[in-house]
């Protein structure tokens, strides 16, 4: 099959695929037994194919999923367009003024169309047609496969600062680097639903202007993220949702340590790992030395437990001090930790959050420990057990709520653990004694003795 438009590993999309775009990678070029003509074997990004690369007992290519392969006629596939062609088609092509499909309308009570004019629409469209002034470009599923000729995009669209290329046909990270080089003002780039080849043997261009990168649903593992690290020296926000990640591979320079960790990413403030497959908190701890990390999103994973590690790793504090080593504070700047939709079920995980030195915002909704009706954690208990908490599940914790929660929590423990010593209570509830003293709660509540009217009144006033 000598068709110059196709090559193995090339990204393609179906022409007229219907409502949902079909994007895949070329895995085979040639003939198929029992069928005339030339065929393209495609592995689709989703399970929208018909087989696993084999037909009638003959294997033509391999797929990762049993239903992600198909054979397609070449005429039914598109190999994509350049970035400038996609921008021009999206923003500069003017539809016919009398095109009914472009009209905006609502239906009246008599089911008649009533035209609606969008205020400012003409001005917005006029600004967008001047590509040299275009700052935000949205090209989702636009078939972009290359940066195009050198200097072409830079000359036409030098002002773009945000670019959304979700679901396009870029083949590898080198082509992404070319796009970034063509757009010197680019700061935000979304490459979600891409399949980008990463060759660690070839260095990538340093993208010092890029501050936000979105790589959701790109079938990436952390080893590939490590390959990109050197070119993302100034990245501040990195999103890696829905990549089926289960492990974080530490850097080679830290592999000899008791607790290997991820280094670099010195400017990274927000890391989004929502909807992956992390089960062990030990994997997340490999991120604990990211010195600028302020927000870590871990919603929708499978985490069973959280704990705050020893600042010296697995070593003994006294031993490390005698050797002159300085303790390393894990997650020193982490202010926001989102843990919704995991499998946390024990109080020790809640208490561990109180040890994070800068943590103020937490999400714990939809975990077993917070499910209503299970007799588990209620809001006031969580607020009382995490001393610096200012926001829980997106709701602000105000000073009045904190005071009420802490008093209620300490009194609850005294009233319900009457057979336990104060030291036993403190072991199971690390903040108990601090809260009891802070709010002047008498021990008589535990002993079940007579409490004076003054004590009753003082301990109940807010």
pLDDT tens string 174-184: 999 999 999 99
| Beta bridge partners of residue 188, listed in sequence order | 162, 212
Query: Euclidean distance between the first and final Cα of the chain, in Å?
Result: 82
User: What is the pLDDT at residue 317?
Assistant: 44
On whether the CB atoms of residues 156 and 134 are closer than 8 A, the answer is: no
CA dihedral 308, 386, 247, 11 (to 10 degrees): -150
**pLDDT, tens digit, for every residue of 237-278?**
999 999 999 999 987 655 545 678 999 999 999 999 999 999
On whether the CB atoms of residues 148 and 85 are closer than 8 A, the answer is: yes
User: What is the pLDDT at residue 360?
Assistant: 98
The candidate with the shortest Cα–Cα distance to 40, out of 22, 24, 58, is 24
Segments of the chain with pLDDT less than 70: 1-4, 17-19, 94-129, 200-205, 252-258, 312-326, 373-376, 418-419, 445-462
Angle at 33 between CA 32 and CA 39, to 5 degrees: 15
Mean pLDDT over all residues of the chain? 84
E strand intervals along 323-433: 336-338, 361-363, 391-392, 395-396
User: What is the pLDDT at residue 94?
Assistant: 46
Helices (H) and strands (E) in the chain, counts: 14, 22
> In angstroms, rounded to a whole number, what is the distance separating the alpha carbons of residues 403 and 441?
12
> In angstroms, rounded to a whole number, what is the distance separating the alpha carbons of residues 214 and 83?
18
Q: Which helix (H) or strand (E) holds 414?
A: helix 399-416
What phi, psi does 384 have (nearest 5°)? -70, -30
> In angstroms, rounded to a whole number, what is the distance separating the alpha carbons of residues 34 and 104?
50
Distance of CA 123 to the CA centre of its chain: 35
Structure tokens given for 92? 């500069």
The candidate with the shortest Cα–Cα distance to 349, out of 435, 430, 258, is 430
User: What is the pLDDT at residue 452?
Assistant: 39
């Amino acid at each position: 099959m000598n068709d110059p438009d196709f090559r193995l590993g090339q990204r393609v999309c179906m022409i007229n695929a219907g409502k949902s775009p079909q994007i895949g990678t070329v895995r085979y070029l040639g003939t198929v037994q029992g069928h005339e003509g030339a065929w393209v074997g495609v592995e689709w990004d989703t399970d929208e194919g018909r087989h696993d690369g084999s037909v009638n007992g003959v294997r033509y290519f391999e797929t990762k999923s049993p239903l992600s392969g198909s054979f397609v006629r070449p005429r039914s596939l598109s190999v994509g367009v350049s970035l400038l062609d996609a921008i021009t088609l999206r923003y500069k092509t003017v539809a016919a003024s009398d095109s009914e499909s472009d009209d905006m309308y609502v239906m009246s009570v008599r089911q008649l169309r009533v035209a609606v004019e969008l205020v400012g629409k003409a001005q917005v469209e006029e600004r967008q047609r001047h590509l040299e002034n275009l700052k935000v470009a949205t090209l989702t599923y636009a078939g972009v496969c290359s940066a195009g000729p050198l200097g072409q995009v830079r000359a036409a669209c030098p002002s773009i600062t945000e670019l959304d290329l979700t679901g396009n046909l870029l083949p590898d990270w080198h082509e992404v680097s070319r796009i970034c080089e063509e757009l010197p003002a680019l700061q935000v780039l979304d490459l979600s639903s891409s399949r980008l080849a990463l060759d660690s043997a070839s260095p990538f261009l340093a993208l010092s202007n890029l501050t936000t990168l979105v790589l959701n649903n790109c079938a990436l593992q952390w080893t590939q993220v490590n390959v990109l690290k050197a070119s993302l020296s100034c990245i501040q926000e990195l999103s890696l949702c829905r990549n089926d990640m289960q492990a974080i591979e530490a850097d080679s320079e830290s592999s000899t340590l008791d607790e290997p960790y991820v280094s670099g990413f010195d400017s990274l403030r927000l890391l989004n790992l929502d909807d992956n497959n992390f089960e062990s908190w030990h994997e997340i701890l490999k991120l604990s030395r990211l010195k600028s990390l302020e927000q870590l999103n871990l919603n929708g994973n499978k985490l069973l437990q959280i704990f705050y590690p020893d600042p010296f790793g697995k070593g003994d504090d006294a031993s490390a001090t005698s050797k002159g080593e300085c303790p390393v504070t894990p997650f020193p700047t982490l202010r926001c930790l989102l843990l919704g939709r995991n499998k946390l079920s024990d109080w020790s995980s809640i208490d561990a959050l109180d040890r994070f030195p800068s943590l103020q915002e937490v999400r714990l909704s939809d975990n077993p420990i917070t499910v209503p009706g299970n007799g588990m954690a209620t809001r006031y208990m969580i607020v009382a057990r995490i001393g610096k908490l200012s926001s829980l599940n997106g709701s602000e914790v105000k000073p009045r709520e904190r005071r009420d929660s802490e008093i209620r929590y300490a009194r609850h423990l005294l009233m319900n653990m009457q057979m336990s010593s104060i030291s036993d209570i403190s072991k199971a509830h690390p903040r108990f004694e601090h809260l009891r003293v802070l709010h002047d709660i008498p021990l008589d509540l535990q002993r079940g003795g007579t409490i004076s009217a003054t004590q009753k009144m003082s301990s109940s006033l807010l």
